[in-house]
Amino acid sequence: AQKITQTQPGMFVQEKEAVTLDCTYDTSDQSYGLFWYKQPSSGEMIFLIYQGSYDEQNATEGRYSLNFQKARKSANLVISASQLGDSAMYFCAMREGSGTYKYIFGTGTRLKVLA
Amino acid sequence: NAGVTQTPKFQVLKTGQSMTLQCAQDMNHEYMSWYRQDPGMGLRLIHYSVGAGITDQGEVPNGYNVSRSTTEDFPLRLLSAAPSQTSVYFCASRARPSGNTIYFGEGSWLTVV
């Protein structure tokens, strides 16, 4: 069965440093999509970055990059130059297969950026 | 830019009461869905719809009802609220068929006492 695993319940990072949030997934589909969302303390879910299973390049969006290692089934989020506003809960998610509409989410990692 | 709009934002219900969480989107998205978020469990899919008149169950559908009479609206009904339904509820939508990313509403905090 498809599954998303985030093994880090909480992380600390010093301001201006880079941090990697881990995400592994399990699927038998060849076509799938991987996502990261940010949930600040205000509660909304903010889309950060997307990686398709056939994309050869790692996705990047500003200070966010997705380290996609297909053979290891990992899709880690890298945040460069952390800012205090990056303190939030981060969720990894996967769209199962192509042409489907079911998204599964990991349990999240709470990131705290220290001044 | 309204995006996905959910109402109400906060609600307290008594056990056994019924209520409807409203969700509307103005992006002409065909796909809409409802998730619940519980501590330590991430988001779990309740119901989803791929177009007007079409709905399907997700991972945790029991106790919830949905309908999709228009493209814009996708209400979630709690038939007889139970304390186990205390949660944060998110509505989400995406374009179909080419869209990949789902966009969320701001969430609805529901407490059942």
pLDDT band at A8 (very low <50, low <70, confident <90, very high): very high
Q: Given CB atoms, is B102 within the 8 Å cutoff of chain A? A: yes
Whole-number pLDDT of residue B98: 60
The DSSP H or E segment spanning A77 is: strand A74-79
Is the C-alpha dihedral spanning A34, A40, A42, A48 positive or negative?
negative
Size of interface A-B (CB pairs under 8 A): 53
Judging by DSSP bridges, how do beta strands B10-13 and B108-112 pair with one another?
A: parallel
| Percentage of the residues of chain A whose pLDDT score is greater than 70 | 96
CB contact under 8 A, B58 and A102: yes
- Residues A79-94 have pLDDT tens digits of 999 999 999 999 999 9
Residue B79: CB atoms within 10 Å: 13
Residue whose C-alpha is closest to residue B89's, from B66, B71, B55, B113: B66
Tell me which chain A residue has its CA closest to the CA of residue B102: A47
Higher pLDDT, A30 or B111: B111
Please give the pLDDT value at position A98.
Answer: 64
pLDDT at residue A113 in the model: 98
Alpha carbons A24 and B84: distance in angstroms, whole number: 29
Contact B102, A94 (CB under 8 A): no
Q: Residue A103: its chain B contacts at CB < 8 A? A: 33, 45, 102
Asked if A47 lies within 8 A of B101 by C-beta distance, the reply is yes
113 residues of chain B, pLDDT tens digit each: 568 999 999 999 999 999 999 999 998 898 999 999 998 788 999 999 989 999 999 999 999 999 999 999 999 999 999 999 999 999 999 886 666 788 899 999 999 99
Q: Is residue B1 less than 8 Å (CB to CB) from chain A?
A: no
Q: Which residues of B touch A101 (CB under 8 A)?
A: 31, 33, 48, 50, 94, 96
Over range A45-72, report the average pLDDT. 94
Which chain A residues are Cβ-neighbours of B88 within 8 angstroms? 43
Find residue A38's DSSP bridge partners: A46, A90
pLDDT confidence band for A99 (50 / 70 / 90) = low
Rounded CA separation A78/A94 (Å): 17
Confidence (pLDDT) at B55: 95
Q: Please tell me the predicted confidence (pLDDT) of residue B53.
A: 94
User: How many whole angstroms separate alpha carbon B89 and alpha carbon B100?
Assistant: 21
For chain A, the average pLDDT equals: 93
Q: Which residue of A has its CA nearest to B49?
A: A101
